[in-house]
Chains A and B, each alone.
Chain A
Amino acid sequence: MSIAPKQPAMIVFDNVGMRYPNSAHLFRQVSFKIDKGDFVLVTGHSGVGKSTLLKLMAGIELPTGGNILINQQNIGQLHANAMPYLRRRFGLVFQDHKLLYDRNSFDNVALPLSIQGITGDEAARRVRAALDKVGLLNKEKALPITLSGGEQQRLAIARAVVSRPSIVIADEPTGGLDKTAALEIMQLLKAFNDVGVTVVIAMHDVTQVSAIAYRTLHIDHQMVSTLPAQGAIL
């Protein structure tokens, strides 16, 4: 937990329960807070509900019990029409990238902007800035299929940050990458965190990233426990 004077938490889970129809509870009465500027890892074995926890944070799934507050907004009480606007505050990096393979890198990154009605020069400027940050500026014309795994993941990150979200949520962003590539991704995400972006990452293999300071939410047996912040062990 941050020791700094309390400003309203970014994400609050208050006694959240979650179960999918016809299956057992994933969580019961989970409560925690994520503050602005936190760098949080969500850990746990596969199948334990890391992705679901992230989806709950991003308003993609709704909890079956309790309350979730994003920026003090209770998403359970949010009108369906307001949900898209809430989602725009998040930069999402999906486990399976969800890149669009029918268009080049530039157009992939431009998608969130066009959803917000930003097109033309303004959009191009911001897309190139995002591609530059992830080191893919020279690949803007490349189709995603021609990129390596690490590059695809970085492209997905560029798409997540192009609309300057206050929270970036990444689901297994290092999955399937070797150690060097994984570390690159983590450093990239940390760089966004350093400029004030709240970053939440789901990850089953923490050893890969021990080089970076983080707070951990550990999921086990339907409960989420908060582990203290760990120092950088570079």
Chain B
Amino acid sequence: MKNWFNQHMHTMQLVSLRLREHWLNTLIIWMVIGITVTLPGLLFVSIDNLQGVARNIKQDAQISVFLKADLNGNLTQRLINDTQALPQVKEVRYVSKDDALAQLSQQFSQKNMLADLPQNPLPDALFVTLVDTQPATVKPVQDALHKRSEVEELVVDSVWIERLHSMLNLGKRIALIFALLLGIAMITVISNTVRMQVLTHEAEIEVSRLIGATHSFIRRPFLYMGSAYGLGGGIIAVLLLAGIVWSLKQPVQLLANNYQSDFQLVFHLVNIGGFILCISTVIGWIAAFIALKQKR
């Protein structure tokens, strides 16, 4: 146990020594990886922010349901009850055509204009408020109402929200593709670097093997090295992202103010930053592993 701990401590010291010894090299690799990680990171941060906006939209999703003319009271009541029973529905407000006309005429100063109409042209209507604006909530209610024969027409006020969500999904997918491509680039860079190091330590590896080093003893420093490259690059990426968000914060706020919004650009250091550090460290390890695999 003590030996095991010793070996890992020793390897870490060795790796940090090698990193310092070739500090310029280390710095260059960290920069390359940092910038490589920053690009998809920026996309993720943007999406994260937009998602925050979408989630915080205060306006409830509402479906306006216009009923067929001359529906009898029982049928209307049944439709109201059935709609209310749906789990996604928060509130159903019934507005009869008479009420609607009264409301409308209140808004117009010239009552005569409406009084001249031969009959009330407005339909009875239900205004269905939903628990939230997610497409998964809106869709089933919309479908259920669509099937009802009592319904003449449906107007969903939240179509734009649905579009926003689709766009966000598309954005996420694009970010993922970027991340994948750049992840592969990262693996190539790190694994090439590690392979070079294996070559420069050829003599040491040979001797170690001859005098009884295990496979894992020989591989360990290189695996640690790969992880160190990934972690260092990740730290640079997080710093870059934080810097970029910080520098964009004010212009974005200004823009948001122009739209009467109190939206603020944020960078979730723990969530996104932590995720970036973990993933880049793991990628570094994998890259080193691949380099050693190719070796023997």
Contact = CB atoms under 8 A, between A and B. Distances in A.
Interface of A: 58, 60, 81, 84-88, 90, 92, 94, 98, 100-102, 111-112, 114-120, 159
B212 A112 contact: yes
A98 B6 contact: no
Interface stretch (B55-63, B203-211, B252-260, B264-272): B203-211
Interface in B189-247: 203-204, 206-215, 217
User: Which size class do B's interface residues fall under?
Assistant: 20 to 34
Contacts of B208: 111, 115
Main secondary structure of the interface of B (DSSP, over half): helix
29 contacts: A58-B210, A81-B215, A84-B209, A84-B214, A84-B215, A87-B211, A88-B211, A88-B212, A90-B211, A92-B211, A94-B210, A98-B203, A98-B206, A98-B207, A100-B203, A100-B207, A112-B211, A112-B212, A115-B211, A115-B212, A115-B213, A115-B214, A117-B2, A117-B6, A118-B6, A119-B6, A119-B7, A119-B10, A159-B211
B6 A92 contact: no
Contacts of B203: 98, 100-101
* Residue with the highest number of chain B CB atoms closer than 10 Å, among A86, A92, A115, A120: A115
Main secondary structure of the interface of A (DSSP, over half): mixed
Contacts, number: 61
A103 to B, nearest CB: 9
A125 to B, nearest CB: 15
A117 B212 CA distance: 12
B1 to A, nearest CB: 10
B220 to A, nearest CB: 11
B3 interface: yes
Contacts of A114: 7, 10
A118 B4 CA distance: 10
B7 A117 contact: yes
B4 A98 contact: no
A100 B213 CA distance: 15
Interface in B1-54: 2-4, 6-7, 9-10
Given A90-B212, A111-B211, 16 more contacts: A84-B214, A84-B217, A85-B212, A87-B210, A88-B211, A88-B212, A98-B206, A98-B207, A98-B210, A111-B208, A112-B211, A115-B213, A116-B3, A117-B2, A117-B7, A119-B6
Contacts of A88: 211-212
Nearest to A86: B212
A100 B204 contact: yes
Contact of A84 (B2, B7, B10, B213): B213
B6 A111 contact: no
Contacts of B204: 100, 102, 111
A120 B7 CA distance: 11
A105 B209 CA distance: 19
Contact of B210 (A85, A92, A100, A118): A92
A92 B10 CA distance: 24
A43 B213 CA distance: 30
A98 B204 CA distance: 9
A45 to B, nearest CB: 25
Nearest to A159: B211
A91 to B, nearest CB: 8
Contacts of B9: 119
B6 A60 contact: no
A149 to B, nearest CB: 19
B284 to A, nearest CB: 24
A87 B212 contact: yes
Given A87-B211, A100-B203, A100-B207, A115 B217 contact: yes
A101 B208 CA distance: 14
A60 B207 CA distance: 12
A185 to B, nearest CB: 19
A60 B212 CA distance: 10
B5 to A, nearest CB: 9
Contacts of B4: 117
Contacts of B214: 81, 84, 115
A88 B214 CA distance: 10
Contacts of A115: 208, 211-214, 217
Contacts of A85: 212
Nearest to A88: B212
Contacts of A118: 3, 6
Contacts of B217: 84, 115
A88 B217 CA distance: 14
A195 B210 CA distance: 25
B49 to A, nearest CB: 49
A168 B207 CA distance: 16
A114 B208 CA distance: 10
